[in-house]
Amino acid sequence: MFDKLEAAARRYDELMMRLSEPGASNDAKAYTKLMKEQGELAPVVEAYGRYRQAKQDLADAQTMLAEEKDEELRDLAKEEAADAKARIAGLEQELKILLLPKDPNDEKNVIVEIRAGAGGEEAALFAAELYRMYVMYAESRHWKAELVNVNETGLGGFKEVVFMLSGKQVYSRMKYESGVHRVQRVPETESGGRIHTSTCSVAVMPEAEDVEVTIDEKDIRIDVMRASGNGGQCVNTTDSAVRLTHYPTGIVIYSQTEKSQLQNKEKAFKLLRSKLYDLELANKQAAEAAERKSQIGTGDRSEKIRTYNFPQSRVTEHRIKLTLYKLDEVLNGRLDEITDALIAADQAEKLAGLETA
């Protein structure tokens, strides 16, 4: 570990020198790349600096204990030694986490699909609530939410909704949302007051760049048509909606939220690239999952990950056995407590895997 830390410190110093050179910003692309690498290394180097200071503080306290005869000064040295040891232990754990291999997709924007599952209209209404929850979460983190496609029901629910989230480290936090979300409540249409259970599936896909996924034009059929459903002014009067069919996989993409056919086509291709990239990612993760038990962070789409129980105002995160009695807060986009717990569990699992390897 310490060889890696020393190498990181040397690289950080090198980057700082290169960034401070006259004319360093003339090549904007290269400069941005250096800035990004420097930003990624900064937390590691800063923590390593605090670790080395704590080690020095411990050595100084131990030297004082060995040489000092005054009892008051010895007691002070003992306190300083105990404090330094506690800081060293905490920083060693922090450094191990910082050195864990990074998910290359963590910095990416995402495309999210929410589909109503078991439960009919109640599931569709819950899908609309999940969409609202994620949009509010995006607002709290200063991300941008952009609708791609929505299939509404007569009562205001969503059979399916597709949207993009863009901003800082979106995938690093949203990737834990993939899976089956379950709701337990008494529907408004239920006259007997019985609690119903409905489900929605959520798929979170990292946005794929052109260079990551190559799409052969011969594999695509493009259809244009008039948008359906509740659209903006003029959205239903022109052939602005776009449907893509990808023959090799059978994936069908529909985009209709923009007035411009060109914009809808661009969104549709962006979603198709992300779906194809996600397929590759899922195959890779399935192979890795065969070597370990837990699936935290891999987004197993068939797994029931979370239950929202309205009668008890309870949210249960099944993967880490976390229960919160804060249903209203969660549905209003306050997801950080759940997400932070999932990230911590994922990191703990990866650390355990390194230690047993």
Q: CA-CA-CA-CA torsion for 215, 219, 222, 228, nearest 10 degrees?
A: -90
SS (HEC) of 189-248: CCCCCCCEEEEEEEEEEECCCCCCCCCCHHHEEEEEECCCCCCCCCCCCCCCEEEEEECC
CA–chain centroid gap for 1, Å, is 27
For the chain, first and last CA: distance in Å? 15
Predicted local confidence at residue 50, as pLDDT: 93
Q: Distance between CA 24 and CA 13 in Å, rounded? A: 15
CA torsion 181→187→188→192, rounded to 10°?
Answer: -170
The DSSP call for residue 102 is: P
Q: Report pLDDT for 280.
A: 80
pLDDT of residue 318: 95
Per-residue pLDDT of 124-138, as tens digits, reads 999 999 999 999 999
Contact 299, 345 (CB under 8 A): no
Q: Assess whether 213 and 243 both reside in one domain.
A: yes
Could you tell me whether strands 314-317 and 158-166 are parallel, antiparallel, or unpaired per DSSP bridges? unpaired
Please tell me whether residue 152 adopts helix, strand or coil conformation. Answer: strand
| Cα distance between residue 254 and residue 351, in whole Å | 42
Average pLDDT of the chain is: 85
Residues 251 and 328 in one domain: yes
d(CA 237, CA 225): 10
Whether residues 94 and 131 fall in one domain? no
Q: Of 187, 190, 193, 178, which Cα lies nearest the Cα of 125?
A: 187
Q: Are residues 79 and 186 in the same domain?
A: no
Contacts of residue 249, defined as CB under 8 A and 6 or more positions apart, other chains included, come to 275, 276, 279
Residues 54 and 170 in one domain: no
Domain endpoint, select from 98, 119, 150: 98
**pLDDT tens digits for range 8-31:** 899 988 989 988 888 888 888 888
Is the residue at 357 inside a domain? Answer: no
Does position 235 have pLDDT exceeding 50, yes or no? Answer: no
Q: Is 355 inside any structural domain?
A: no
In this predicted structure, the answer to whether residue 210 has a pLDDT above a threshold of 80 is no
- Tell me the average pLDDT across 152-170: 91
Instruction: Quote the domain boundaries for residue 320.
Output: 110-289+296-348
Q: For residue 186, is it within any domain?
A: yes
Number of domains in the chain: 2
- The enclosing domain of 339 has a CATH number of 3.30.70.1660
Tens digits of per-residue pLDDT, 301-315? 567 999 999 999 999
Q: Mean pLDDT throughout 328-332?
A: 97
What single-letter DSSP state applies at residue 103?
P
Q: Is the pLDDT of residue 298 over 70?
A: no
Q: Do 171 and 272 fall into the same domain?
A: yes
DSSP-assigned states of every residue in 292-356: -S--TTT--TTSEEEEEETTTTEEEETTTTEEES-HHHHHTT--HHHHHHHHHHHHHHHHHHHHH
Distance between CA 318 and CA 23 in Å, rounded? 53
239-269 per-position pLDDT tens digit: 788 888 888 888 888 888 777 888 888 888 8
**Within a domain: residue 160?**
yes
Q: Do 270 and 129 lie in a common domain?
A: yes
Residue 336 has pLDDT above 80, yes or no: yes
Chain segment 163-182, per-residue pLDDT in tens: 999 999 899 999 999 999 99
Give the pLDDT score at 289. Answer: 55
pLDDT tens-digit map of 135-150: 999 999 999 999 988 9
The residue out of 34, 66, 98 marking a domain boundary is: 98
Rounded to whole angstroms, how far apart are CA atoms 259 and 262?
A: 9
Residue 195: is its pLDDT beyond 50?
Answer: yes
Note whether 128 and 223 are same-domain residues: yes
Domain membership flag for residue 33: yes
59-111: pLDDT as tens digits: 999 999 888 888 888 899 999 999 999 999 999 888 988 888 888 888 899 99
Could you tell me if 158 and 282 lie in one domain? Answer: yes
CATH number at 91 reads 1.20.58
Which of 68, 98, 128 is the last residue before a domain boundary? Answer: 98
